[in-house]
Structure 1
Amino acid sequence: MTQRSGSFQAEAQAPSLAALQVITATRRAMEALEAHWDPALLEAFTDHLVGRRGRVVLTGVGKSGLIAQKISATLASTGCPSFCIHPTDALHGDLGMITAQDTVLILSNSGETEEVLKLLPSLLRLGVGIASITSNGGSRLATASAWCFTYELPDGEGCPLNFAPMASTTLQLLWGDLLAAYFMTRTGFTLERFAQLHPAGNLGARLLKTSELMHRDFPRVPKDATLVDALAAMTGGKLGMTTVMDGETLLGIISDGDIRRALEKAQRENLNPLGLSAQAIMTANPVSVESKTLAQEAARILESRKITFLVVKDGDQAAGILHIHDLLGAKVI
């Protein structure tokens, strides 16, 4: 680094070398964390969170504040109630959002950020649990923390000036993900719960089950129903099909294609199509899936078989009908 006219400037170097410097600094910092992180500290912090009803309140200034927002969002999305607050806003009234049941997780690379240090006395008076993520284990922030998650920067930030937060924010983010992973494991967080918290978008769609999208009130006719009865059921059901049932036992299904094939057969054999029974028209043993099947897998079956609906079963019983429009509406396909 060279100094010119009282200002700091990056050494002249190829952009690719500057980028490689960031990668190297971050990798070495991650290697140092991998070698020295304390599982017992993470376990203790996670046990503290599980044993309380409060939320995890994230805070930080500047780039650390932005990383705090991401960590808070990750915790909330994985079952740990959390929100983010700016230290200055907290000092000007937003402390009222924090209760004694909460735990505050503070991010500061130096551990000596002025706005954060001003916040500490108020947090201590509230009696909240204080945790921190910092590179300075000897800082005043670290000293005030019941749980301090530290990292090293063997090659600095990796920034051409070694000023802009680069490697440090990556390590803060990594610590946040470690905390979330421990919490998820400790609380037995499941894919089903994840889907509940992500009802929109691709993530939620990938985890939906057929039972969540199927039509439970589906059209049905008895085996001795006429063609007219079947058509009426199909029209009323608005699914382009009807099931054929013997009591609660599924015998088959009648689709638009089955109707066309029945009419062609009646014409060939000089039969009255209105005299055909539902059992004579239906397709027995229709393609079906279990109610616990992922909607994504059901979509694959529909596409591979080139059909528009599936019978959803719960054991041996028909539980519903899943139509391709349901999958399109939920953005599974």
Structure 2
Amino acid sequence: MLKHVMDVLDLLDDPRADGKRVVAHLDSLAGPEGSGAEVTTVEGARGSTDFVRVVVRGAQGRSRGGSARTLGVVGRLGGVGARPEMTGLVSDADGAAAALATAAKLLDMRRKGDVLPGDVVIATHICPDAPTAPHDPVPFMDSPVDIATMNRHEVTGEMEAVLSIDTTKGNRIINHKGLALSPTVKEGWVLRVSEQLGELLAVVTGEPLVTYPVTTQDITPYGNGAHHINSILQPSTATRAPVVGLAITSAAAVPGCQTGASHETDIAAAARFAVETAKAYGAGRLNFHDAREFDALVHRYGSLTHLQTLGNAPSKP
């Protein structure tokens, strides 16, 4: 996996980085079947970005008419670079690098004959010159497009569960270098941490499970004026599927726009976890949440889907 990460970082750490180059790389790994990757360039108020989406078809996947479940892997970020303000690959690029390394590994596995049961849909975007934004305690990377646009291109109806990977270093909440797992979020509910995902993460990293707190405001859409830890759980505002955030973390607060702050081994661990999750989820051996428990909560307390919207406008003083 580390080799795939290094190859992807080589592509992203370039002022000319774009979706076409990434797709060409994935096609080279996929063999005769091709990667099936799609690139969509979207113009925003502050520039453009290339959305890349890859569907790795499983042996019994929905795309073949099978019954195996489909996992979504979203690499969430503002941009892979902040040129001209910063020169080089920024810390915020880790989510994209992990998602694309996941796609590369799965396509390479499929070419060699190791085909997963279910489909895996991997999506992220590539922008080498994204803007930055003020944020406490350290500056964030911004994006040339808004979060709703990201969700439209990165969160699809085929995804029956979503693993969202994002650099989550710009805070004083997760004082740990490596990976941290969020509770499961579904339709406005913050559910308990999936024990199965937690056990799998501990196996993949070889370390005790680390989780992090998720507040109600973290799972509301950007644009409502509330503070968010970052965009890692924004996919949960655009789907009914359960969403879990896999945070690539640091022991100190690191700005998302900082260069020289990406750790290749942590990105590789995140990608390995995504691959192992895809194997187990498609085979029906792992769940993101307890469906019966969720249904009982909704029956007892009602729907919280209003938290997936921008809600009511603030009243005028």
Q: Shared fold by TM > 0.5? A: no
Structure number with higher helix proportion: 1
Higher relative contact order (CA 8 A, sep 6+): 2
Place the TM-score, normalised by the shorter chain, in its bin.
under 0.3
Normalising by structure 1, report the TM-score: 0.19
